[in-house]
Structure formats: C-alpha cells, structure tokens
Chain A
Amino acid sequence: MYLDRIIEKCLKRDRAAEKLLYLHFAKQVFGICRRYSNDDHQAEDYMQDGFMKVFSNLKSYDAKKGHIEAWIVRIVVNTILSNKRKHKMKHQELQTELTDHLAVAPEESDEVLFRDIQASELLTAIRQLPTKYRDVLNLFIFENLTHQEIAQLMNIEVSSSRSRLTRAKKLLKTILTKQVTIPV
C-alpha cells in the first residue's frame, strides 16, 4: 500500500514521491548496476539512466502483471544493456583477452570457496569477467532469465548463451578461488 501511494503520486509528477521511490530502490538498483559495470562511476550512470526511464515510463507499469520491484529491475537492466550497445567499451575487449587465459579452478572446491567470500570480493570477481560472459551470468543467475530470453535480449543464439554462461561460471570460480586462496 505504501508503494502504491508513492507510485500514484509519482504518476502526478510529485517530486517528493519520486524521491521516496528513488531512495527505496536506490541501493538495490545500484547493486545491479555495479554487477554490469566496470567501476562505480559507470554504475551510477547506469542507475541514474535507469531511474530516468523508470520515472518517464511509470505510467506503463501494470501492477497486475508483477511487483514494482521486478518492473524497476527489468527497466534498469534493459537500460544498462541498451547503453552498453551504444557505447561499446574497448577495455572490455582487452579484459576478454586477459581473462580468457585464466586457469579454470576445479569444481570440487566451489562450495567451500563461495561460502567465504564477501560482497566486495564477489563484485570484484564479477567485474573481472569479460562483458559478454558477465552479462549472461548476471541475466541468468541474478535476473533469473532463461537462455531463450537472454538470446533474444542480447541478439545471440541460445547455444551461445549456454556456452557463455558455462564459461562465465568457470571464470568466476577461478577468479574467486584466486581471491580467496591468495592471502591479502
């Protein structure tokens, strides 16, 4: 009910309500944007662009089809992907070259390694992934999309989505393994 009232006022261009909605979802959205970005500045740009789209498209939100949180996440993720297509980042390609040569850690150690990591370590590991792997990983693991949806969204084959996910998981494990096993 609280969010419904806020949304209702946001539709009337009430700035106070817009601020409340922003503050309510800002941290969650920022976390998402961080996973898709290479640094926090870029993440904030994604977040601000995403909220801009959220407020300008709020009238198209239908509460009967899902919760506002899910709708906002979809808008933000879509905005991120759209921005990425517009501004292809060269350093991502360089990273791809580097990370493709990382050794893949053995799967047996996954459970132990994953339970000990912190959020910052996870974020660092995700950011080290090549963009094409990172995006598929984010969409599949964190946004719960299917491979068909990912393929359609990223304009790739379903099989490519599957292979990228597999590769992303292995790379992430490798990175996390190194982070965890290597003392700071």
Chain B
Amino acid sequence: MNDNWNHIRKIADSIGSDLDAEAAWDRFEQRPERRKRRSLFWWSTGAVGVLALFLLLGFFFIKDHHQSLQEVVADESMIDTSLKNKTTLDVKLDKEKKLDQIALQQRQNPHLEFNETQSQFQSKLKAKLKSKAKPLTDQVLVEKSNTTSIYQAQAQQEVNESLVQNSTVELGQTHNTSATETALSDSTSFILEMANDLSTQQADAVETNSMKQKDMTKNMGSYPIEQTVQDSYSAVFHKPDHTSPITIDIGIDSKITQSKTSISTIPLPISTNLHFASTILQIEDYIQLDNQLSNTKHLFSKSWTVQARHIYGIASRTLTGDDELFNNRRSAQEDLKELNATELLITRQLTPLFSISSGLSVGQYRVKLFEVNQDVIQNVVFEDVLLERLFKGGEIEERRGRFVGSQTITTERTRFQQYQDISVPVYANLHIKITPKLNLMMSTGASISLVNMTKGVTFESTISAGTYQSLDQLNYRSIGLIQGLANLSLSIQLNQKLDIQLGGHLRQDFTNRFKQSEASTDRFNSYGVMLGIQRRF
C-alpha cells in the first residue's frame, strides 16, 4: 500500500511539468503588487536623487558665495596696496604716528569722548612737551588715520564713504626726516612711552564710542551699513565685515506616517525546538496576524497630526521689466539670497496613503547687496592739517595749515533687504511606506499670504553715491501673494506618536510681488532643506 502512495507521489511531482514558466513569469510581473513595488522603488530612488541634488546644489551655492566674498576681500587688498604706493611722505616712527593719530582723531571726531583719566593724561603730556621743547629741525607731518563705524541712523548718505587722502603740502617747511627721527629717538623717549600709553587708552575710547553707536543703532531698529574710513598712511587696513554670519536655522518639520501593514514587514516567529516542517504552522499564525493588522488600518486612516517644521532655502529671483535700476542693482549686486520659513501645520489623514495639511507659515526672504566703488578726486583742499613739528629746546611745536591733494574715495556698501510674509499653506500629501519606520512623503500645495512686509532700503539711482529708498515705497504688494509649494521628505518614526522629518523643499512665487500698477515683475523662488517633527493624536 505504501508503495502505491510513493508511486503516487512520484507521479504527482510531474503534475506541473507542462507549465510555461517564462509566460507565467511575465504574467507574474504584470500583477499589480509587482508593479506597485517597482514604482515604489523608482519613487524612492527618485526621492533620494532629488534630495541629494538639493544638498549638492546647496553645497555649491554656499561654496560659491564664500568664493565671491573672498574675491571682494581680494579686491580691497588691491585697493589698500595701491593707496600705500601713492604715499609720498616717509613713514614715521610707529609710536609717533600713534600720537598724531590721536590728535587727528580728536579733531575729526569731536564726538569722540575721552574719559577723565585720558584727559588728565593728555594735559600732562602737553605740559611736558612744552617744558622740554628744543629747537631741532622742522618736519613736514601730514598724517591722518581713522577708522570708524558709521550707521545709517546717524548719517545715511554723506558718511557712507571711505576717505583715502593722498595729499601734497602747500604750506610748511620740509627738512630731513631721518635727522628728526634720530633726535626723537635720542632725546624724547619718555614722550614715546607716554604716547604709547595714551594711544592704548585712546583705543579704549574709540571702542567705547563704537559700542555706543551700536547700541544706538539697535535701539533705532535700523540696519547697519558697514563703512570704512581709512587714511592712505595708515599701516593697518581695517577690513569691513561683509561676512555677515549666515545663520542656517534648522527648525522642525513633520509629516504623517501612515501605518500600512504589510506581510513583508512582519518577521516570522522563530521556533528553535521544532522541525523545520512545523514552520507552516508559524506561517499560518503569521498570516492571521497580518490579517488582524490589516484590519487596524482604519485606526490610522482618520488620525490628526500636528507638524512643526523649519525650512532653509537658497533663493533666487526673477526680475523683469524696463527698470534699469532694478536690473542693475538686483541682478548684478546681490550676492546672498536665502529663505527661512517656519510652518505649523495640522494634518488630516484621509486614507493610509493620502492626507491634507494646512496651518500657518511665516517666511522670510533675505537679500544682501554689497558694493565697492573707488573714485579719485584731484585738487582737494584740506584745512587744519598737521604740517610740521618743530623740536626746539626740548619742546615740540606743531604747525598746522592747509594743503591741497588728491582724494581717493572708496565706497563700500552692504544693504540687507527682507521680504516677509505670513501665509496660509495648504498641502496635499502622498505617503509611501518604505520600511516599518521609514516613510516617504510627497507634498504639493499652495499658500496665500495674509501679510506681506518689506524691510531695508534699496538704491534709488545707479551712481555709487546715490540716495536710497525704502522698500515700502517701491510699490510692493502687502497682501495676497500666492506661492506654489512642494516637499519631498523622509519620515523616521521615533515612537508611536512622534516622527522626525527631513527633506527638500521648493517654493515659487505665482504672483508678482509688485502691485499691479508696477510695470516690473519680481518673483522669488527657492529650494532648500527642511527639518521637522510631528505628533500624532
């Protein structure tokens, strides 16, 4: 009897031998589950690719941005070198220069305050100089060195210039400078020591003034305009700080994690003491468990989620129209455009795959403009300039007068513009489960702004010394800006309630930022990264 059944088993082995396996495979590949898996693979690959592209472009943009700043710095170094080469007077002793600098600063900046100790010290110094003065030799001394930070609130236009003076003497006697230096070093060492001390205290005073100016600027809420005023004889080039810190605010973002149960995600229980054949029973349990979990999909299909996320983007703008001002200034001079946006969204999960989100978004585009111009003006008359210093009987006498020279004006400007909006975004989200704890979310939507604000000033004319006009006066719209939005992100499930989200973000203005009465068109677009967190309820 057993032989019969063994024979039956052998016969049964050939029951499926007439199958066309290739054709069956083709039909297998056409099954919806297989197509879905393939599409999921390509979507995942595409998502990773797009994310990598975002990061790569962002990296190169930041790199280029730093390079452009370095080029600007290099240009300034050239300016500095050329100015030094124009110097016609010999360089004096450093300590003596400090003494002159202090005196000059005091004349040019009457607002510069000395503290009580410094004033007393200065008085004592003058008295000693007078008592110890000896008639030595005359020397032409024309020296100015000054570096200040001037703010827009104090003087918007006229003080936004760097003065570089290259002068020739009109009055005064010229003598051998080396002899003067020798005499100074031999007979007035105490003066130099005092001058050194005084210059140190003077530097403290300058710093105190600078801090006061900064405080004043902060209180007035205006934007700083970096400016360097520099003398051609100054040994130190005070480089303006154009490298304003680029703060990459990484906020938080979020997405819905749908819980799609899949048989592939549930590991089979491992039985260690049963024969392998018994796994069929385990698989049965496993399939039953899968069915149970499939029935729990509805628990997630109607859930609410709160998301908070922050977006940092690299922005660009499309400026069209016949206005030469905008085209020149914004297309050529802008070297930084960035987006920072924070979104707080409430998401309704309609199905395991689909959800909608809406909430509030606060966004800000930030534009930085930087410009360096250099103009040389001939035959400029300078009044009350230190011309010579006489050493007689141990005393030093200063002679001042007027001289005519050339003046090189180096103008450096840094302007910040901000375009802010508070808007209501609406997203449609598609959720694709990659692994039990990793989800891919694709979102697209639009937003309409409730409030648009602009801050900062912009150029009104194309010449370097032109005046500036507030953005608010440039006919920008204050409401109703419509933007298109798109996100592609990966969500990592931390626990049953909390997810973190990392992805890419695209944003495009659909409407002109100018009002309809304006002929020009100004549209922003940006791409960047976003980081968020979400909480399910």
Contact = CB atoms under 8 A, between A and B. Distances in A.
B12 interface: yes
Contacts of A35: 12, 15
Contacts of B111: none
A30 interface: yes
A183 interface: no
A115 interface: yes
A122 B9 CA distance: 10
B461 to A, nearest CB: 63
Contacts of A160: none
Interface string B258-275: 000011100110100000
Interface in A14-68: 19, 22-23, 26-35, 44, 47-48, 51-53, 56-57, 60, 62, 65-66
A181 interface: no
B4 A30 contact: no
B60 interface: no
A100 interface: no
Interface stretch (A1-9, A72-80, A91-99): A72-80
B507 to A, nearest CB: 34
Nearest to B4: A114
Interface string B12-27: 1111110101101101
- Interface bracket on B: 35 or more
Given A57-B264, A60-B268, A32 B3 contact: no
Interface string A140-152: 0111110001001
A66 B19 CA distance: 26
A60 B16 contact: no
Nearest to A125: B8
Contact of A78 (B4, B21, B22, B287): B287
A74 to B, nearest CB: 4
Contacts of B8: 114, 122, 141
Contact of A122 (B15, B33, B277, B283): B15
Contacts of A180: none
Nearest to B5: A141
A89 interface: no
Contacts of A51: 28
Contacts of B9: 141-142
B270 A62 contact: yes
B246 interface: no
A163 interface: no
B12 A57 contact: no
A56 B264 contact: yes
> Which residue of A27, A34, A82 has the most chain B CB atoms within 10 A of its CB atom?
A27
Contact of B11 (A13, A26, A122): A122
A23 B25 contact: yes
B31 interface: yes
B463 interface: no
Interface string A147-172: 00100110000000000000000000
Contacts of A60: 267-268
Contacts of A13: 41
Contacts of B220: none
A123 interface: yes
B163 to A, nearest CB: 70
Interface in B241-296: 262-264, 267-268, 270, 276-281, 283-284, 287
A47 B278 contact: no
B7 interface: yes
Given A52-B33, A75-B283, A111-B4, A70 B12 contact: no
A31 B13 CA distance: 7
A73 B280 CA distance: 9
Contact of A119 (B14, B33, B278): B14
Contacts of A153: 280-281, 284
Contact of B284 (A30, A81, A141): A81
B56 interface: no
A32 B283 CA distance: 18
Nearest to B9: A142
Nearest to B26: A19
B1 interface: yes
14 contacts: A23-B25, A26-B19, A28-B16, A44-B24, A48-B27, A48-B28, A52-B31, A56-B264, A66-B279, A107-B1, A115-B7, A141-B8, A144-B277, A153-B281
Given A52-B28, A57-B268, A122-B15, 10 more contacts: A22-B24, A22-B28, A23-B22, A26-B24, A27-B17, A31-B15, A48-B28, A48-B31, A74-B283, A141-B5
